[in-house]
Amino acid sequence: MKVHLIGIGGTGMGAFAGLLQEAGHDVRGSDTQLFPPMSTQLEAAKIPVFEGFRPENLDWEPDFVVVGNVCGREHVEVVGAQARGLALESFPSLLEKVVLPERRALVVAGTHGKTTTSSLLTWMLQVAGLQPSALVGGVPINLGRGYLFGRGPSIVLEGDEYDTAFFDKGSKFFHYRPFRAIVTSVEFDHADIFADLDAVKAAFVRFVELIPPEGDLVVCADDAGAMEVSRAARCKVTTYRVLGDGDDPRSADYTCRVEAKRGRGMMVFEVFERGVSLGEFQTTLVGTYNLGNVLAALAVARQEGASVPALHDAVRRFLGVKRRQELLGIASGIRVVTDFAHHPTAVRLTTTAIRRRFPNGRMYVCFEPRSASSRRAVFSDGYAESFAAASRVLVGPLFRPEKIPPDQRLDPQALAKAINAHGIEATAHVDVDDLAQSVLAEAAPGDTILLLTSGSFGGLGEKILKALGDAVMFATPEDLPSVHALCASYGLAPTIPGDTTETLIIREPEGAVVGCVSLRMVGPQALLFNLAIDRERRGEGLGWMLADGILRRARMLGVQQVYLVTTDATDFFAGKLGATPASVEEIDPQIRRDPNFVLGDRAVCMKIDPSYKRG
């Protein structure tokens, strides 16, 4: 089957293209200029993309033309497809026709937490050996892409209540044939298509009614909207909640209690299954709301047959989702973090979580009203009360304000004034460059700059990091050729990416990669390898900066012992990082088989406790 996707660069459309290709179909698409991560994902999948929209892009005569939500009925390729008599489909309707008949759909729905929860569930099932398929509206860091086509019977789907296409105004998740489903929350959202909260609830009720009697519905016991729509279910309803002080673990089917301590930079919590303890879990995710996401995914994973030990491992190793509490980089001692939050509730939860994660220094929150709802005045009062955790709020310009009727349009100046009235300093900015200059004029070492946007924010993150100087950040797939070249200059083997390997780099303001280090994790052990610095930048302390950063990351991920092999840097590793000699026999065999674990004639094996105070 030949499929052409109009707007293939969208997160959902690009992931669907990859899923179709892995299912054996011939897939191509068109879009305007693409940007990472979708450009990288499509290139890696070798899916041809026509740049720009033209009728000639359909000359290859596809069987189906998938129309994204960016397309109206007057779109040049829509008109061209209709003139040729080609079949138009939305991606949810084509998914329903060609993928779902052979899969059991596990659908994650709700106003908040869909992407993180569906990513968690996919990862849990994969670690448990259940070989799931998946289609997620984001990029789980462990997977590197938003889709999987596995051999198992189940497919995890992020279920969106937004409308499907210009010719199908029903919610996307009406097409998903849910057998098991999660509803995390139900609040008013998508003010451009829903008149009020009752209209949103009606969509969720219809979705819940699609679950067959032999299926399952998992809902948050503490969300009134979710509990209300669950009453329409014809199937078994399973509840979950995060416990407060003194709450009974049996107050919901799946509960958890946060421990008083934090273990190695991770959130530690005990999980209960119908009152019976499943033991202590650890996660690098931040925020109580993310514990709810873990519980929801865990409940469905248990229904699918995942073992408790596999779930312990999966939760500990889960690295999150791109653009959800994602650390873009650290430069001049200033952290730059980005998150997708744009609903007032999500803004409040995210800013509170990031403040708790980085309690020291000031937190500058840069907010871009970009989504169809966030550009509307209907949420003005909600936003005014959502930034209490911020030290200062910088409101960016409305994205494409001409798309919103003037009488419905959010006023950034009025929003900044309302935030100020709640005791938080706030300013509105006419463009991204002005906003960047303003935050850079104030931010100091130890501070955090948090970007809240459902899009690119005009490249604000890159502008800030470039202005701050050399930045330590996680490598992207685009960086790997530069990393490989730097390693090759020292005779080191290439870094092979994978779900247990992380690479940090140092990037100069002009974009060049001048340092790198990688870490491969195997249970409680890890291998530190390929620490390399551009020869012209040696002697500036960049090697220590990278090694210290990757060891902090190892500690956060629960690694208890880090091993390395070196030929001429024993004094550096011992003096700066506290490394001591190690015997090969104590190292996990999987690490010893790693291509980067090379014991030559002059090589010395060393080990490091990640909790060692380095200096």
Q: What is the DSSP string of 245-289?
A: TT--GGGSSEEEEEEEEEETTEEEEEEEETTEEEEEEEES--SHH
pLDDT value of position 10: 86
pLDDT value of position 593: 86
Q: How many angstroms separate the Cα of 452 from the Cα of each of 14, 368, 542? A: 23, 6, 30
pLDDT greater than 70 at residue 311? yes
Q: How far apart are CA 405 and CA 61, in angstroms?
A: 39
Which amino acid, 190?
H
Per-residue pLDDT, averaged over 237-248, amounts to: 95
CATH class of the region 2-89: alpha beta
Q: What's the mean pLDDT when you consider all of the chain?
A: 91
List pLDDT tens digits, range 408-432.
999 999 999 999 999 999 999 999 9
Q: How far apart are CA 130 and CA 465, in angstroms?
A: 41
Domain ranges within the chain, ordered by starting residue: 2-89, 94-317, 326-469, 498-608
Confidence of residue 511 (pLDDT cuts 50, 70, 90): confident
* CB neighbourhood size of 136 (10 A): 27
Helix (H, G, I), strand (E, B) or coil at 55: helix
CATH class of the region 94-317: alpha beta
Per-residue pLDDT, averaged over 118-138, amounts to: 96
Ramachandran sector of residue 53 (left: φ over 0; alpha: ψ -120 to 50; beta: rest) = beta
Q: Does domain 498-608 have CATH number 3.40.630.30?
A: yes
Per-residue pLDDT, averaged over 83-89, amounts to: 95
- Lowest-confidence region among 57-61, 66-70, 291-295: 66-70
pLDDT value of position 264: 53
List pLDDT tens digits, range 326-348.
888 999 889 999 998 888 999 99
pLDDT greater than 70 at residue 499? no
Per-residue pLDDT, averaged over 17-35, amounts to: 92
The CATH number of 326-469, from 1.10.260.40, 3.90.190.20, 2.60.40.420, 3.40.50.150, is 3.90.190.20
Confidence of residue 588 (pLDDT cuts 50, 70, 90): confident
pLDDT value of position 263: 46
pLDDT value of position 151: 94
DSSP β-ladder status, 561-566 and 2-6: unpaired
Per-residue pLDDT, averaged over 183-192, amounts to: 90
pLDDT greater than 60 at residue 614? no
pLDDT greater than 50 at residue 211? yes
Q: How far apart are CA 349 and CA 351, in angstroms?
A: 6
pLDDT value of position 420: 96
Burial of 329 (0-12, 13-18, 19+ CB in 10 A): buried
Per-residue pLDDT, averaged over 364-382, amounts to: 90
- Tokens 């740049």 belong to 51
- Tokens 């937490």 belong to 113
pLDDT value of position 81: 96
pLDDT greater than 50 at residue 581? yes
pLDDT greater than 90 at residue 460? yes
Q: Is residue 28 a contact partner of residue 48, using CB atoms and an 8 Å limit?
A: yes
pLDDT value of position 175: 96
Per-residue pLDDT, averaged over 352-376, amounts to: 92
Per-residue pLDDT, averaged over 103-107, amounts to: 97
Which residue(s) pair with 255 in the sheet?
Answer: 241, 272
pLDDT value of position 613: 59
pLDDT greater than 50 at residue 220? yes
Per-residue pLDDT, averaged over 85-96, amounts to: 95
Q: What DSSP state is assigned to residue 385?
A: T
Please give the residue that has the higher pLDDT: either 33 or 362. Answer: 362
Q: How far apart are CA 36 and CA 141, in angstroms?
A: 13
Task: Output the pTM of the full model.
Answer: 0.82
Confidence of residue 516 (pLDDT cuts 50, 70, 90): very high
Pair of tokens at residue 440: 């850079």
- With a pLDDT cut of 90, the percent of the chain lying above it is 68
